[in-house]
Amino acid sequence: MAGPHAPGTPAARWKRHIVRQLQQRDRAQKALFLELVPAYNRLLEKAALLARFSEKLQPEPNSVVPVSCQGPWEEELGTDSDELPSPATLRMKWQEEEKGLQLVCGEMAFQAVEKSAALGTLELELEVRRDRLAALEAQVAQLRATREQQLRQVEARRAHNEQLRAAYDELRAHAGLREAALRRREEEARELLERLVQSKARAAAERNLRNERRERAKQSRVSQELRKAAKRTVSISENPSPNDPSEDGVREAAKSVVPASQAQALEKEAVETRRRSFRSASATSLTLSRCVAVVKGLLDFKKRRGHSIGGTPEQRYQSLPVCMIARLPTWAQDVRDAHLSEVNAVRFGPHSSLLATGGADCLIHLWNVVGGRLKANQTLEGAGGSITSVDFDPSGTQVLAATYSQAAQLWKVGESQSKETLSGHTDKVTAAKFKLTRHQAVTGSRDRTVKEWDLYRACCSRTIHVLSYCNDVVCGDHVIISGHNDQKIRFWDSRGPRCTQIIPMQGRVTSLSLSQDQLHLLSCSRDDTLKVIDLRASNIRQVFRADGFKCASDWTKAVFSPDKHYVLAGSGDGVLYIWDVDTGKLESTLRGPHCSAINAVAWCYSGGHVVSVDQARKVVLWS
């Protein structure tokens, strides 16, 4: 590598530039003196010459100047001049010229002094610049050394990066092989699962066929036994045992088993044989118990007609008994900071003693309502994102939650870890509700789909594609109702693939609530109104507004009271508003612990308590 003063280097170039600048300045300043110094020298010479002439022309006493003598001054006067000036005139003239020359010499001497001083200043400035140039050269040398060191570090880093890149390429190739193996394993598992499902379906079909054959054979046997029982004579002893059925029950059983004419004959025969004491009560009770068992078997057979494909009956839960009178809440009975961040969802269990709250801290807390207080029961963990909705199954043994992790989570009450993860959505899941059975659920998402789930197999059984993303869903007997961001409520037949009805709103739908009798639907929307829709006539029955009520977010929830006489919603200013459904008037407002927007409310099925949750982590129990 070239040295710091080698020719051609940047240092040599800028040094030459400085030298050229100094030389140019020297020439420019010297040019000013080049004309001045010769003129000054000429003046000095001329002054010296005039002095010598003046000394020579000093007249001696009694001397006469010869006429033929001519000097230079005479030449100036001209050769044609007839008269010569006198010496005194010439002396005066010489003295004046001498004074002028002295003045000029003084001025030139002063200018020379000034130029000398300026030259000294410039020399000092040149010295300063030379010192600065030396300092800059030292700094440049130091920077060059630092640059060389950094270049060496860059080379070392580049070599290290090359090693890391090679290791990364190797790991990437290894990961690609692992991913390919994983895909093969997943395909094999999928094929095995499909074969398993097909084998289970075939086994279930065969089992159903065997059950049908068995039931038909049993039905034929029952028919034969009924025909035999109709022909058989039944006698009753006079002193039946306490465990035997009563006369009226036996008579009713006989009437239900045999025809009317034969029943009358049997009744007459029974009256006649009451007096016969030699008939044993055991035979009579055996015959009657056999008849009752036959009738019971028929009833059980009718009940088993609704079995599912797997042979296990699908347990459907009837709606909970409607509360006759719901008490209006008046005061805050308990206030808790339940979560680490805002609380988004709240739901009462079907027995009104268990409460679930879900928040943005990815946790679900279960609470027991004991003596007007909230007592912590359990914490459900395992959700991958913020909780947006919670729901209990009709039996109260399972909890379903919608999360921002593009999935819904299922827990069993009593177990802290998630039981199932319902994954399949491609965006945030905003609503998750059970249907009338504990093994079916519906979810709505911002990916513009509504999905039905079979919780037996933890798989999606149906996907409904919608033009707008869903904010909330509710389920009836054979209908799924979804509220959307495009200001529409859509009705979907769970037995068919298409939308059966669309009801437009004046704002984005934030929540839906179905009454216990499934005849009315409550909607809350961002136009700060609540509407009650009569599902029998498919029209809006009542619209609720109030001064100060504001729907604060796209997930604000409103609910019916259990007796369907009131509707309840929380406002953005932390106030609860209660309207009368029949009159449409504002019944009451509740102000208290809430200092921020209320996200959701819940009214227990017994009608005695109301719970509200807000964005400031508070859970308030009202009574």
More confident residue, 177 or 247: 177
Closest CA to 320 of 623, 564, 566: 564
Per residue in 249-259, pLDDT (tens digit) is 434 444 444 44
Sheet holding 343-348, edge to edge: 343-348, 354-359, 364-370, 373-380
Q: Collapsing DSSP states into helix, strand and coil, what is residue 469? A: coil
- Give me the pLDDT at residue 10, please: 67
- 430 φ, ψ (degrees, to nearest 5): -100, -15
Q: How much is the pTM? A: 0.52
* Percent of the chain whose pLDDT exceeds 90: 46
Closest CA to 325 of 603, 514, 512, 530: 603
pLDDT at 292 over 70: no
- Sequence letter at residue 387: I
> Radius of gyration (Cα) for the chain, nearest Å?
57
360 touches 599 (CB < 8 A): no
- Give me the pLDDT at residue 436, please: 83
pLDDT at 350 over 60: yes
More confident residue, 607 or 304: 607
557 touches 402 (CB < 8 A): no
> How far is the C-alpha of 400 from the C-alpha of 183, rounded, in Å?
30
Residue 237 has a CB neighbour count (10 Å cut-off) of 19
Closest CA to 534 of 579, 478, 582: 582
Among 73-87, 466-480, 574-588, name the one with the lowest average pLDDT.
Answer: 73-87
Closest CA to 355 of 558, 611, 597, 555: 611
Q: How far is CA 417 from CA 381, 409, 414, 420, 421, in A?
A: 5, 10, 9, 9, 11
Helix %, strand %, coil % for the chain, to 5?
40, 25, 35
> How far is the C-alpha of 391 from the C-alpha of 409, rounded, in Å?
11
> How far is the C-alpha of 478 from the C-alpha of 494, rounded, in Å?
5
More confident residue, 356 or 114: 356
> How far is the C-alpha of 610 from the C-alpha of 346, rounded, in Å?
10
Q: Confidence band (pLDDT; 50, 70, 90) for 389?
A: very high
> How far is the C-alpha of 75 from the C-alpha of 59, rounded, in Å?
20
CATH number of 332-622: 2.130.10.10
> How far is the C-alpha of 324 from the C-alpha of 302, rounded, in Å?
34
Tell me the mean pLDDT in the region 517-544: 94
**Following DSSP, what letter does each residue of 519-585 receive, concatenated?**
SEEEEEETTTEEEEEETTTTEEEEEE--TT----STT--EEE-TTSSEEEEE-TTS-EEEEETTT--
Domain boundaries, the chain: 9-47+96-208, 232-305, 332-622
Q: Confidence band (pLDDT; 50, 70, 90) for 69?
A: very low
Q: Confidence band (pLDDT; 50, 70, 90) for 5?
A: low
CA diameter of the chain: 217
411 touches 429 (CB < 8 A): no
Question: For residue 538, what are its two tokens?
Answer: 């498919």
SS3 per-residue string spanning 257-290: HCCHHHHHHHHHHHHHHHHCCCCCHHHHHHHHHH
- 377 φ, ψ (degrees, to nearest 5): -105, -55
User: Which residues contact residue 120 at a Cβ distance below 8 angstroms, ignoring those fewer than 6 apart?
Assistant: none
User: Which residues contact residue 490 at a Cβ distance below 8 angstroms, ignoring those fewer than 6 apart?
Assistant: 466, 481, 482, 484, 499, 501, 502
Average pLDDT value for the chain:
80
Question: For residue 473, what are its two tokens?
Answer: 């869903």
* Percent of the chain whose pLDDT exceeds 70: 78
